[in-house]
Structure 1
């Protein structure tokens, strides 16, 4: 049986955080020497650290929070697509890709070199027109190897809103640099944090069929 592949950024005190947001910090607050039985750790972090999901409440005051989201979009068949040959990813680019009709989760390997310890100055552009295209294919989850589906300086978050409008949930900051294109089983469950606008996830994939030439028809 194929082995699970971890595609999530490991959380550490060195992981990059969104500029101005709360960095991740882990510390041991009580040691076995002190308690005579256990080590006890503590973390402080933004919910949008490392590999994470955005709940619609993150960018819409009336959007659903993490605990209100269905679990099904985060579990099931997914396809990894290589769009690293362009810095503009739109419906025309995605229309050149092939994947099985029963795959409802798309993970994009972009041109952004993935360095978990450095927040990038610029990101490849995800055109909002991908949202209606993906919806027409039955896609319910879009994952990217970038910290956001919009530019770091975006205020209108047009791609966030377009994806949400078309029923597509968002998974960000995946590690896909060494993952072959192909079809996989995905598990990327958010934590059940009541009222939250996002959540870190442990995203893992397992191959479900041999690698295919999915970069073009």
Structure 2
């Protein structure tokens, strides 16, 4: 039996997608049509680097931190555990403790927030900064979430961002995980090599060769 197909867990980039309040919305339009050029259609895009499914570079919350083009691409390729934490509105170290994380250096959290790319949530589950120590103890280097941010939109101190940063754990946000069965997968979520950028949209995909569940104890 061959390997299973790739599963797209990215938000489509559309002109009516939701964006972080006050940030630059996404827009795609044709700069020139084939009729105008006589040969090709040429499009352009504008929008925040934090639009849709995206990674945060440390420079996003630390002016001396690494920018997107300085990050190791190996962070965003490899084994990942998809964990269902939809039973709680506050995700703490205790929430994650029952899961078997051995062998996976990346975790993706499927929360209680339904995947609605065209609507910015008025409320969303909270990630307690305590998860950073727990994830670090288990060798986790990347956390992915299906919410717009690991901190509440109104936060100014960004406690979860900084707690993860202190443990060298990188951040992937706005995933689409409602259609994904919890378990172990191969993840590819490469950012664009944007010079000096604080973040980048990604095309995030998963593939499971065997449907191995991330069982709880």
Report the alpha carbon displacement of residue 29 of structure 1 after superposing the two structures with TM. Answer: 1.0
| Partner secondary structure for residue 76 of structure 1 | strand
- In 1, distance between residues paired with 2:145 and 2:67? 20
8 Å CA contact 1:16, 1:119 repeated in 2: yes
Report the alpha carbon displacement of residue 32 of structure 1 after superposing the two structures with TM. Answer: 0.9
Report the alpha carbon displacement of residue 204 of structure 1 after superposing the two structures with TM. Answer: 0.4
**Aligned residue-pair number:** 215
Give the alignment partner of residue 69 of structure 2, picking from 67, 70, 78. Answer: 67
- In 2, distance between residues paired with 1:84 and 1:102? 23
- In 2, distance between residues paired with 1:205 and 1:36? 40
8 Å CA contact 2:83, 2:214 repeated in 1: no
1:205 match: 206
For residues 30-76 of structure 1, give each alpha carbon's deviation from its aligned partner in whole angstroms, at most 9, with x where no partner exists: 11111111110000100000000000110111111111111111000
1:188 paired with 2:189, answer yes
2:113 match: 112
Report the alpha carbon displacement of residue 132 of structure 1 after superposing the two structures with TM. Answer: 0.9
8 Å CA contact 1:5, 1:205 repeated in 2: yes
- In 1, distance between residues paired with 2:73 and 2:211? 27
- In 2, distance between residues paired with 1:25 and 1:72? 30
Give the alignment partner of residue 82 of structure 2, picking from 61, 80, 83. Answer: 80
- In 2, distance between residues paired with 1:156 and 1:204? 31
- In 1, distance between residues paired with 2:136 and 2:164? 9
TM-score normalized by the length of structure 1: 0.97
Report the alpha carbon displacement of residue 213 of structure 1 after superposing the two structures with TM. Answer: 5.2
For residues 70-111 of structure 1, give each alpha carbon's deviation from its aligned partner in whole angstroms, at most 9, with x where no partner exists: 111100000100000000100011001113x22100000000
1:134 paired with 2:135, answer yes
TM-score normalized by the length of structure 2: 0.97
1:53 paired with 2:39, answer no
Where structure 1 has 5 or more consecutive residues not aligned to the other structure, the ranges are none
- In 2, distance between residues paired with 1:208 and 1:151? 35
1:152 paired with 2:153, answer yes
